[in-house]
Structure 1
Amino acid sequence: MKTKKTLLIITTLVCLLPMLIAAFVYQELPAQIATHWGADGTPNGYSSKAFACFGLPALMAGLNIFLNIVLDNDPKRKNVNNRILIVSKWCIPVVSLVVSTLTLAFALGYKVSISRITPAMVGVLLIALGNYLPKCKQNYTVGIKLPWTLNSEENWNRTHHLSGYLFILAGIVMTVTAFIPSAAFLTLPFILIAAFIPMIYSFVLFKKGI
């Protein structure tokens, strides 16, 4: 229990760390800050300085707390591989810290390619999750949670072995194409494949009585 609380506190503080960074440079920031970018790296969405500096980190911290509560109160939590649990709990803090810091740097005039760095980071996270998905046993919060995967251990295991490979493949494609703009069109198809093929596969297994 103490370890859970410690990790919750640490990850939440990491989510909020961009607030401290923003406080030091607040006076130098423009009134409107770019918070969304197109595939070509051009800003196409803006937020107020206050929201970008303090609202977004606070929102990420709230999501982090909610995720930790859900993961720690799963009735089948013991079935979740400890490493994938830790990776899951660090996803939001890492994204919050990196994206918020890059957003502030961009607002200050530094040349940072958020449209490349962010997808690459998400790709690495997909690779990490894909590596551990096959080791994840039945639970209610992590994995491909469908009626037929939760009803059959064999269905769950087969589906997650497949999804593990597809997550890794999608992660590799996303990471590579982040630095090859001409190949960016490949990202969405592979993400959709990783998301929907395991669901279809698990349903096919279910119809076969597995």
Structure 2
Amino acid sequence: MKQLIRMIAALCLFVTLLVLRELPAVIPAHYDFAGNVTRYGSKYELLILPVVLLLLSFGSRFLLLHFHRKAEQAESDKERQAAEANAKVLGIVIFPQTLILSCIQGVLLYNTVLALRGESFLGTLAGDKLLTILFGALLVLVGNVLPKCKRNGLVGFRLSWTRYNDITWQKSNRFAGIMLVAAGIFGIVSTAFSPKGYGMLLLAVYTMAAIVISIVRAWQVYRAEKARERDRG
């Protein structure tokens, strides 16, 4: 599975490099929610996502080694189980994440080629829906993973108050996971009924709302836990 993930990431980069050979130096680099070009830039900006994807594929290997090492060196069963759980979560999420991000890169490449011809795939209803569904699926994936993460400093919904103790971590990550799943589902469902250009806009609104509400909820959990400890002490 690890080799397959790196192969997909490498293939994404290879295809991007092939496409870049046929593109002019300056290309459409940014689009509004309706798929209209709002900025032109260097064609090499298209390398950002494939390079990040390749780094993630290799970085995940080191993260897995880190969690496995922590499990082996754990001084208690609780620490060992937490490290093993985080390694398992990372192993589950990296493959679908790689596929989704590779598909997003494919959509961006296709749209860039069309944009140079005066057309726009993202400006069509089908393009808007496809990109919204891909990003919505990514949110659902991340949201399903968050509640499975154990308290650590590398993966999960990490804020100073979510990491206060195991209770604040579990409650905050579970709530944030639910909110991200809801944002992704609402975005995917909304794109079926929204007019062209509104699918990604609505998903962005849902995502921002989910993040803000999750941060507020995490702070409330932290304050409640602090108060409970004071009362107990």
**What is the aligned-residue identity percentage?**
21
Distance in structure 1 (CA, Å) of the matches to 2:39 and 2:57: 24
- Displacement of 1:116 in angstroms is 4.0
Distance in structure 2 (CA, Å) of the matches to 1:205 and 1:27: 52
Q: 1:205 to 1:59 in 2, by over 3 A?
A: closer
SS, match of residue 103 in structure 1: helix
2:55 to 56, 59, 62: 62
Q: Does 1:90 align with 2:95?
A: yes
2:212 to 174, 196, 202: 196
TM-score normalised by L of structure 2:
0.69
1:20 to 14, 17, 22: 14
Q: 2:30 is matched with which residue?
A: 36
Q: 1:46 to 1:72 in 2, by over 3 A?
A: farther
Radius of gyration: which is bigger?
2
- Tell whether the 8 Å contact from 1:33 to 1:52 is kept in structure 2 after alignment: no
SS, match of residue 140 in structure 1: coil
- Tell whether the 8 Å contact from 2:104 to 2:134 is kept in structure 1 after alignment: no
For 2:203, give the aligned amino acid: T
Q: Does 1:79 align with 2:92?
A: no
Q: CA RMSD in A?
A: 3.2
Distance in structure 1 (CA, Å) of the matches to 2:209 and 2:203: 10
SS, match of residue 209 in structure 2: helix
Q: 1:169 to 1:56 in 2, by over 3 A?
A: closer
Gaps of 5+ in 1: 1-5
For 1:203, give the aligned amino acid: W
Distance in structure 2 (CA, Å) of the matches to 1:184 and 1:56: 18
Q: Does 1:112 align with 2:121?
A: yes
For 2:222, give the aligned amino acid: F
Q: Which moved further from structure 2: 30-39 or 109-118?
A: 109-118
Gaps of 5+ in 2: 71-81, 229-233
Distance in structure 2 (CA, Å) of the matches to 1:55 and 1:200: 32
Distance in structure 2 (CA, Å) of the matches to 1:59 and 1:97: 11
- Tell whether the 8 Å contact from 2:111 to 2:120 is kept in structure 1 after alignment: yes
TM-score normalised by L of structure 1:
0.75
Q: Which moved further from structure 2: 196-205 or 173-182?
A: 173-182
Q: 1:160 is matched with which residue?
A: 173
Q: 1:87 to 1:119 in 2, by over 3 A?
A: farther
SS, match of residue 4 in structure 2: helix
- Tell whether the 8 Å contact from 1:81 to 1:137 is kept in structure 2 after alignment: no
For 1:77, give the aligned amino acid: A
Distance in structure 1 (CA, Å) of the matches to 2:152 and 2:107: 35
